[in-house]
Amino acid sequence: MEAIRVKARVGPNREWEWVEGPPELPEGEVEVILLYEHGRDGSGTRPSEWPVLDGGKYEGSLRREDIYDSNDR
């Protein structure tokens, strides 16, 4: 399997508009992976708005010997 990168735009009617035409490809099935940004139009949440848990302070040791027993489990 080989990967290529092309750009497209989704219009208001949810139809694709190619920003750059796709290259010549052999006939057959393809797998499409879409990458898009959330919140460009003010909707959605950005990672900085995600909830945060306060785990407090940890005053112990994080050495492997302290975390795992003698069988490393």
Q: What is the 3 state secondary structure string of the chain?
A: CCCCCCCEEECCCCCEEECCCCCCCCCCCCCCCCCCCCCCCCCCCCHHHCCCCCCCCCCCCCCHHHHCCCCCC
Give pLDDT, residue 51. Answer: 76
From the CA atom positions of the chain, what is the Rg in Å?
24
Residue 10 phi, psi (nearest 5): -100, 120
Residue 45 clears pLDDT 60, i.e. is over it:
no
Q: Which residue has the higher pLDDT, 61 or 48?
A: 61
Q: How far apart are CA 3 and CA 51, in angstroms?
A: 35
Residue 26 clears pLDDT 80, i.e. is over it:
yes
